[in-house]
Amino acid sequence: MTSHAELLDFLALAGSGDHVWFAKRLSSNDTGVNGSHQSGIYIPKYIGFAAFSTIDTSKENPKVIIDQCLFRSHNLVVDGLHVTYYNNKHTRKSGTRDEFRITRMGGLASPVHDSEATGAILLMCFDCHRAANKCYGWVARSREEELTIDSWLGRELEPGQLISNVLDTKQAPKFDVPGQWLEHFPKGSEIFDYVVATERQLLPVDKRLLQRRQREWALFQSIEASHVMPRIREGFSDVESFIQFANSTTNRRKSRAGTSLELNLSRIFDEETVKYQQQQVTEHKKKPDFIFPSAAAYRDQTYPVRQLDMLAAKTCCKDRWRQVINEAGRLSEKHLFTLQEGISDTQLTEMFSEGVQLVVPEPHLRFFSRVARPRLLTLADFINRRLELQD
C-alpha cells in the first residue's frame, strides 16, 4: 500500500516542468463497466502532440510504444504501453477519426480497468522526450487522495472534465460580459443567472442542466482570465504575495464548484413548479440538499411518508454516497443526483441495498451497464415523480 508521501512525490514529479500530464475521472467507457469496447484511454490532440511531438503524422494511425509505465499508486509496472494517433480523417476520404488513444495498459490487472475504479481520478505523466522512454500513472484509491489531487490541480476535478499542463488553444464560447464584472468579480449566483437569462431555448430538463453547467464554467473562466491574467503579468514582489493570490484564486473556484450543482437543480425545480426547500435540518442537525415538499411537511408526523422525498446532489458520488444514508431518518429511500459517468454494478447493488436511489442526467445513462439502466432515474423521472405526488 502506497503512502500519502508517495502521492506527494508523484505530484512533485508531474509538476517539475519536465513532463506532460493530464488528469481525468475514469468513466465507465474507460473501465468497461457499461460493456463498451472502447479502444483505450482518449487523449485530446493538443496533449498528444505535446507529449509525442515526433510522431510521424504522414502515416496512417502512427503509434509510439512506451517502454515502461509505472502505476505508482498500485506498484504496478506495465511494459509496452501503446499511444496511437488515429488519423484516418486525414488519410482516407471516408475517415472520421482524429484522436489519440492509450492502449495496452496492463489488461485486467491494471487499475485503469478495475470496475470499482469508475469515477476515480486518473493522473498520467509522460516523459517521452528523454532517452528513458517512460510514463507514470496514479489512480486515486480514496477520498483523501482525491482531495490532495484536487488541491494540487487548483479545483475539483468533475466527471467529464480533463485538466492538463498543456494549453488547449481551442476557443471557448464567447460571452458579452457585463462591464461591471471586469471591475468586480461577480458571485456564483450572478454568473448562473446571467447564463439562464441568455439562453436561446429551454431544453428538456436533463440536457438543460448539462448545457447550463457547461456554459456557466466557460463564462466563469472568461471572467477569471480578465481578472487574473493582468495581475500575473504585473508580477509579484515576493513569494508570500504570490501564494496569497494563488490561494484566493483557488478558493474562488472551490466556492463556485460548491454551489453550482445546487443552483442548477433549484432553478430547474422552480421552472418545473416542484415544491421543495433547501438545506433544512432533519434529525441530528443533518441538512439534506433538498427536501420535498417542505421541511414542515417532513417534521409533521401525520404527513404521509410516501409523499416525502429528499435529494442529495454530488458531482461525483464514488466513496461519498454513504453520507446520504442518515440524512433523513423518516425516509427509507434516499435519492442521490450525480454527474458521475458510470458506477460499477457491485457498488450500485450496495447503494440500492442501503436504500439509495441514483438519479442521473439522461445523456449519462449510456455510461451505465444495460443491466443497471432500468434501475436508474433521470432528472425528468424524478421531477415527474414529485409532480405526481404534489397532485
Of 85, 86, 276, 298, catalytic: 298
Examine the residue annotation and report whether 298 is marked as an active-site residue of this protein.
Answer: yes
Maximum separation of any 2 CA atoms in the chain, in Å = 74
* Domain edges within the chain: 4-164, 179-263, 277-390
Q: How far from 179 is each of 121, 151, 223, 256, CA to CA, in Å?
A: 37, 31, 10, 20
pLDDT, average across residues 198-225:
92
Query: 293: which DSSP letter?
Result: S
Highest mean pLDDT among 16-20, 273-277, 340-344: 273-277
User: Do 45 and 99 form a contact (C-beta atoms < 8 A)?
Assistant: yes
Class of domain 179-263: alpha beta
- Cα separation of 310 and 287, whole Å? 10
Query: What pLDDT is recorded for position 356?
Result: 96
Instruction: Say yes or no: do domains 4-164 and 179-263 share a fold.
Output: no
Query: What pLDDT is recorded for position 272?
Result: 97
User: Do 281 and 295 form a contact (C-beta atoms < 8 A)?
Assistant: yes
pTM, to two decimals: 0.88
Query: What pLDDT is recorded for position 38?
Result: 61
- Cα separation of 272 and 261, whole Å? 17
User: Where is pLDDT greater, at 252 or 362?
Assistant: 362
pLDDT digits (tens, 9 = 90+) for 135-171: 999 999 999 999 999 999 988 899 989 999 988 877 5
Class of domain 4-164: mainly beta
Query: What pLDDT is recorded for position 1?
Result: 56
pLDDT digits (tens, 9 = 90+) for 66-76: 989 999 999 99
Query: What pLDDT is recorded for position 36?
Result: 62
CATH tag, 277-390: 3.40.91.80
pLDDT, average across residues 366-376:
92
pLDDT digits (tens, 9 = 90+) for 76-106: 999 999 999 998 888 787 788 888 999 888 8
Q: Is the pLDDT of residue 246 over 90?
A: no
pLDDT, average across residues 275-295:
93
pLDDT interval class at 334 (50, 70, 90)? very high
Query: What pLDDT is recorded for position 22?
Result: 94
Q: What does the mean pLDDT of the chain come to?
A: 89
Cis peptide leading into residue 230 (ω within 30°): no
pLDDT interval class at 132 (50, 70, 90)? low
User: Do 258 and 277 form a contact (C-beta atoms < 8 A)?
Assistant: no
Q: In what order do the strands lie in the sheet with 309-314?
A: 277-278, 290-292, 309-314, 334-338, 356-360, 377-378
Query: What pLDDT is recorded for position 105?
Result: 86
